[in-house]
Chain A
Amino acid sequence: MSFDQLLALVLDPDLLERYGPRFIDGLLVTGKLVAISFTLGALLGMLLALARLSNNVLLQRFSAGYIYFFRGSPLLAQLFLLYYGLGSLKGFWQDVGLWWFFRDAWYCTVLAFTLNTAAYQAEIFRGSLLAVAPGQYEAAKALSLKRSTTFFKVILPQSLIVAIGPLGNELILMIKASAIASLVTIYDLMGVTKLAFSRSFDFQIYLWAAVLYLLIVEIVRRSLKHIEARLGRHLR
């Protein structure tokens, strides 16, 4: 077998020309989906973690229940629940004026991913906030710092250093989970792959997708390791 034949088996130039640009688009969609939902999820997750640690029993219960539900059931089921379930209440959403939101697969997916990752991130933030020594709160109080100053300038920076490792793992899990979006007609990397496979019936398409996903995950993993080492350099 010559080199060209071997190349055609794993990286057919014709196929690449036809579907290459689509793959780039798919990559961008995946990146956008993960970036938006991870950021929004971090905000919501922080609020949930604070609610979980607050003295208000109602807030505690609500946040515990939320975290339990979203961590205990599959993302796929949650996505279908939001997209098909809430989407079936057309009359209601039209009355409230939110039909444009729940009609659209993209918005529903972003919402489902945000809600899901928020639950996981809330647990990470809770653990990292608990990891800050109680003496820090007492010292801040002794210096008569405001509560907001204590939180933003003293507690948060210390807890984020602890949180960055687990948050990186969660980001990687999100990148992998984003393949599920292809099941509700989103053309992310996985969606593009399935489309290209259903048209060409060439198995190498799946291998391209595998290599792309592995590349993304490895790059993210390595850069996170680098960032973690850099942020924690005063602790060494």
Chain B
Amino acid sequence: MLEQLSLLSFASGGWGQALLAGALVTISLALACLPIGLPLGLGVALMARSPKRFPRAVATVFSTVFRGLPELLTLLIIYYGCQIAAQKILAAMGYEGEVMINTFLAAMIAFSLVFAAFSSEIWLGAFKTVAKGQYEASQALGLSKATTFRKVVFPQLVRIAMPGLSNNWLSLLKDTSLVSTISLVDLMRQTNLAVSVTKEPMFFYGVACLGYLLFSALSGRVFVYIEQYFSRHMRGART
């Protein structure tokens, strides 16, 4: 057992550093999906609530497609699709040669789309809890539509949406392990490499599982704080 633990050391011959670097890639990939995925999801939810037919149809198609496709397939379609598209465009402009799309970028786009599709459902559910009176009251106060959304509706939405979004975040974190198949060197890929060198699959895959568990546990803690922050106005009423 002690012998195996030395495989995790940070000295030469140990895989500690490699695994840590992989874990960093996993975390940063998951975090990089948030700035695109969250607003896009909210946008899709707004489109789904629009009175016009066209935006509604777009929103339905978007969320059906990206919620229905397996994440692995979405990833491969975006990765190879972008590659082929880039190749075609560059070839049309006269550039001949191999084009390689950055794997991190492709993975980021793919997971952002999936995250947006799932979170749009959460936002939609949250919209239903905002009472009609809130809109009417803001109208009576003469607030503009943008101000109503930003200052009145949105803060209430976030509080309701938080638990659902935290679930989505956890599945996003776990789904990032799929990028090891397009040879982005994340935690899973480093583990695969370590296994192929050391021939200790049981130990290393166990460590990888524990690593993901640790991330889930940590983000659970963070979400408790965020939820407390967004429901701080409720605290006074309850006690």
Per CB-CB distance, the 3 closest pairs between chain A and chain B, nearest first, are: A179-B70, A85-B202, A84-B201
Q: Can you name 28 A-B pairs with beta carbons within 8 Å?
A: A69-B209, A73-B174, A73-B208, A73-B212, A74-B174, A75-B174, A76-B178, A77-B177, A78-B209, A80-B205, A81-B202, A81-B208, A85-B205, A88-B199, A175-B70, A176-B68, A176-B71, A177-B70, A179-B72, A180-B70, A183-B181, A193-B73, A197-B80, A203-B81, A210-B69, A213-B69, A214-B65, A218-B64
Contacts of A178 in B (CB 8 A): 70
Interface of A is mostly: helix
Convert A184-214 into 0s and 1s, putting 1 for each residue whose CB lies closer than 8 angstroms to a CB of B.
Answer: 0000001001100100000100110110011
The answer to whether A218 and B68 have CB atoms under 8 Å apart is yes
Convert B61-86 into 0s and 1s, putting 1 for each residue whose CB lies closer than 8 angstroms to a CB of A.
Answer: 00011001111110011001100100
The residue in B65, B68, B217 that gathers the most chain A C-beta atoms within 10 A of its C-beta is: B68
Q: A81 CA to B211 CA in the complex, in Å? A: 13
Q: How many residues of B contact A (CB 8 A)?
A: 37
In the complex, whether A135 has a CB less than 8 A from a CB of chain B is no
In the complex, whether A72 has a CB less than 8 A from a CB of chain B is yes
Residues 135-167 (chain B) with a chain A CB within 8 angstroms: none
The answer to whether A203 and B217 have CB atoms under 8 Å apart is no
The answer to whether B64 and A214 have CB atoms under 8 Å apart is yes
* Range class of the A interface residue count: 35 or more
Contacts of B76 in A (CB 8 A): 194, 206
Min Cβ gap A205→B in Å is: 10
The answer to whether A210 and B209 have CB atoms under 8 Å apart is no
| 9 new A-B contacts at CB < 8 Å, known A85-B202, A206-B76 | A68-B213, A73-B208, A75-B174, A77-B188, A77-B208, A190-B72, A197-B80, A206-B81, A207-B77
Min Cβ gap B106→A in Å is: 14
Our pick among A78, A80, A180, A209 for the contact of B201 (Cβ within 8 Å) is A80
